[in-house]
């Protein structure tokens, strides 16, 4: 359950700007879906399923994503983050998808691969290109930076591979980043694993997006070290 590194690596700067085919349209459609869901749901129930706070006086959800706290207005779906004037469209889309999709299912404490997600095989190539290969390319021979960057992003050390970091994308969406170090015979390899409950919180395509987004955020932190 691992992928070897190779020369065909997606450029992370391109990933940041080309995650969805048309992110503006995707965000607009996602907000409309959120508004439809909000019309038929109590915000307290949404908050409970997603494991987030709901501020009744402000009519806002507080959603933690990668060490940042985002405010999501109910029922419009508008998002803001104090001290962050411009929020990545990918982040906004993922947050709204999370609130829309969260079913409140308990974590299973059982790891699965991307292929085991519903229709995972359809998105496996983008997932490898956007997330797994960049993970190996950037951190395959820098385990210390990988660990420090992951911890700085709010993660905790895992017990898989030679080095691994468990990062909560959202309160109920843990993602495990695993690296096996290379040697004289074999190159470094790695994988990104999910809790077995993952399909109850986000669509499969979003995990391809989120997997690479986290790697990009770790790279930014590592570059500052």
On whether both 196 and 116 belong to a single domain, the answer is yes
Look up tokens 């979003």; give the residue: 206
Rounded percentage of the chain residues whose pLDDT exceeds 70: 91
Supply the pLDDT for residue 21. 56
Residue 12: per-residue pLDDT: 40
Say whether pLDDT at 34 is over 90. yes
Domain shared by 36 and 83, yes or no: yes
CA–centroid distance for 161 within its chain: 20
pLDDT tens across 108-137, in order?
999 999 999 999 999 999 999 999 999 999
Structure confidence at residue 110 (pLDDT): 97
Q: Which two tokens stand for residue 17?
A: 């700007």
- The confidence score (pLDDT) of residue 73 equals 98
Domain boundary among 73, 101, 129: 101
Same domain, 92 and 113: no
Count structural domains, the chain.
2
Q: Among residues 80, 101, 122, which one ends one of the domains?
A: 101
Nearest to 217, CA basis, from 64, 91, 86: 91
Comparing CA positions, the residue from 203, 198, 208 lying closest to residue 109 is: 198
Domain extent, residue 136, equals 3-18+107-223
Q: Is the pLDDT of residue 63 over 50?
A: yes
State the pTM of this model.
Answer: 0.88
Q: Report the first-to-last Cα separation within the chain, whole angstroms.
A: 30
Residue 186 or 8, more confident: 186
For the stretch 125-174, pLDDT in tens is 999 999 999 999 999 999 999 999 999 999 999 999 999 999 999 999 99
């Amino acid at each position: 359950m691992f992928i070897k590194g190779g020369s065909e690596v997606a450029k992370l700067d391109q990933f940041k700007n080309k995650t969805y085919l048309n992110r503006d349209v995707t965000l607009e459609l996602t907000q409309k879906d959120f508004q439809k869901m909000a019309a038929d749901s109590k915000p307290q129930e949404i908050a409970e399923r997603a494991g987030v706070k709901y501020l009744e006086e402000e009519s806002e959800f507080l959603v933690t994503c990668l060490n940042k706290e985002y405010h999501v207005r109910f029922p419009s779906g508008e998002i803001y983050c104090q001290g962050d004037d411009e929020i990545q469209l990918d982040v906004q889309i993922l947050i709204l998808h999370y609130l829309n999709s969260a079913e409140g299912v308990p974590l299973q404490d059982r790891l699965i691969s991307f292929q085991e997600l519903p229709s995972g095989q359809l998105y496996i190539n983008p997932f490898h290109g956007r997330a797994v290969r960049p993970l190996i390319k950037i951190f395959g021979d820098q385990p210390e930076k990988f660990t420090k960057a992951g911890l700085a992003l709010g993660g905790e050390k895992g017990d898989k591979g030679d080095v691994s970091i468990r990062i909560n994308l959202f309160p109920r969406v843990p993602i495990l980043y695993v690296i096996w170090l290379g040697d004289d015979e074999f190159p470094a390899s790695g994988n990104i694993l999910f809790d077995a409950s993952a399909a109850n919180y986000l669509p499969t395509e979003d995990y391809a997006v989120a997997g690479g987004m986290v790697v990009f955020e770790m790279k930014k932190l590592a570059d500052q070290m």
